[in-house]
Structure 1
């Protein structure tokens, strides 16, 4: 039986800041720490749960959940990210979709070009692009978006597929990207709700997922903005390794980046 050896979640915003910006430096160090911890776990596969920013999954077709099914992926290149191809794991992606088929209708993406939402964390976790990646996209841009409860159910299936469909010696790390609070191009644009962000992180730290799995879209929109809908990515990831307490790696409320920046580890 393959094993999920760790779960991590991190915001994926990264803007330039003047030298000496203490908050920015702490965020970068937090992301670097997540990268160090992932590499120490020696994963054979990364499952990255993120959101597409209307580059691949547009308003023309709006699947709630999309799995990247390909042998290789080439980054989109937004935010000047290098367009260097990296490996996928088509066999596992296909088996995940097949295993979920009687419970979820998962869209399959053969030609996804991952944008900064997936690539920024990968730049810190696997800068050389050596670890195969299966991306899972949660469509936070559609109306209604997937709920935390639904995302958690898919997380349960991801854990099941890892245990049953991968070779027994493989080590898997699950990474969620996005959040925390940020309002983007809607009333409240640029706001950060540090109190709510800290409540979310504390809930992961408690190991009690009941509130997080039950949180509704209206609560997220009210307290964390439309960008905060990406918190459901964190919920899905945590569901793959249930019953464990998270450790807070970093948190910085950064209205100058329009985001409550945070990261956690569950091992």
Structure 2
């Protein structure tokens, strides 16, 4: 088996506002089991599809997609910080192949990543430099947003490139499912906050970083008691989305427009496009089988929390 996939929700609220102990233990078991399956697969290369939350990408230049050739993590919300083990030549090759297949992706030689990228590496791999990783950013919060179709085509292009490698490739998708935490929107802010969204937030002062962290923590505490305080989670949509992935019928999502998704499941639900890209990449290895599905709405993390693995049926 040359490819394996795992997609999982992330949340900056891990360890800050946790659900009751039984739920926390349940999630930790899901993560531990996934980590063991990945270790058994023993990947040579990770391709990580992840969003950003105005920590690395801003409106000074906001691409729909970006492939990192060099990357480091900022360590927000107490997550791991430092450089990732990015194989630069391979990442450059990937970016070239994607462009040759008609998908416009930016490249970065100084990619800055946040918890959305580092949590899966920490929880599932055990660190930022354990296994070579190519980070692929998919814009999931800053309008205008890419469509489901473009995310799918990006994943297919990367998968086609990866299928030609003599490597065992792990596709990771990080984000979602339904959720809408208090993320600022450029159209609704001005002054300093607008300036931060336009790029000055790339090097946020420590006191502002702490205030931002506490704002999200406080919102989660309120939401866990009153789910009308933010856009409600949508378990029905989440389960439908997971069923689409299980059936392998990714193109059915092409007709879902961005505003419809925001209205139904929350504005940050666009992070599920990382899952779509990851599954589209895996589909380049042929038909696949999903396993170990997990889902639970967790208000304390302002998230419909999901986890899903898959492997190609072909032994190539």
Query: Does the alignment reach a TM-score above 0.5?
Result: yes
Task: Return 56-65 or 121-130, whichever deviates more.
Answer: 121-130
Q: Separation in 2 of the partners of 1:192 and 1:12?
A: 15
Which of residues 259, 268, 293 in structure 2 aligns to 1:249? 293
Cα distance, 1:80–1:252 mapped onto 2, change above 3 Å: same
Which of residues 58, 80, 85 in structure 2 aligns to 1:87? 85
Task: Return 240-249 or 227-236, whichever deviates more.
Answer: 240-249
Partner of 1:126: 125
Q: Separation in 2 of the partners of 1:109 and 1:204?
A: 30
**What are the Cα deviations for residues 6-43 of structure 1, in whole angstroms up to 9, with x where unaligned?**
11110011422568522222222222222221111110
Q: Secondary structure at the match of 2:66?
A: strand
Task: Return 33-42 or 212-221, whichever deviates more.
Answer: 212-221
Match runs of 1:160-171 below 5 Å = 160-164=160-164, 166=165, 168=166, 170-171=167-168
**What are the Cα deviations for residues 88-136 of structure 1, in whole angstroms up to 9, with x where unaligned?**
0111211111112241221111112321001111111211431011000
CA contact (8 A) 2:18 2:300 kept: no
Task: Return 112-121 or 8-17, whichever deviates more.
Answer: 8-17
CA contact (8 A) 2:141 2:268 kept: no
Quote the offset at 1:209 in angstroms: 2.2
Give 4+ residue runs of structure 1 displaced > 4 Å after superposition: 17-20
**What are the Cα deviations for residues 196-250 of structure 1, in whole angstroms up to 9, with x where unaligned?**
1111112212232232344321231122111111111111110112232322432
Task: Return 239-248 or 149-158, whichever deviates more.
Answer: 239-248
Q: Separation in 2 of the partners of 1:265 and 1:51?
A: 19
Match runs of 1:61-100 below 5 Å = 61-70=61-70, 73-100=71-98
Larger proportion of helix? 2
Q: Separation in 1 of the partners of 2:252 and 2:292?
A: 18
1:262 paired to 2:260: no
Quote the offset at 1:190 in angstroms: 5.2
Cα distance, 1:121–1:190 mapped onto 2, change above 3 Å: farther
TM-score under structure 2 length normalisation: 0.77
Aligned residues: 260
- Structure 1: runs of 5+ lacking an equivalent: none
CA contact (8 A) 1:43 1:171 kept: yes
TM-score under structure 1 length normalisation: 0.90
Partner of 2:34: 34
Q: Separation in 2 of the partners of 1:212 and 1:29?
A: 30
1:147 paired to 2:147: yes
Task: Return 9-18 or 131-140, whichever deviates more.
Answer: 9-18
CA contact (8 A) 2:48 2:172 kept: yes
Q: Secondary structure at the match of 1:54?
A: coil
**Aligned-residue CA RMSD (Å):** 2.0
Q: Separation in 2 of the partners of 1:122 and 1:236?
A: 18
Bigger Rg, which one: 2
Q: Separation in 2 of the partners of 1:131 and 1:195?
A: 36
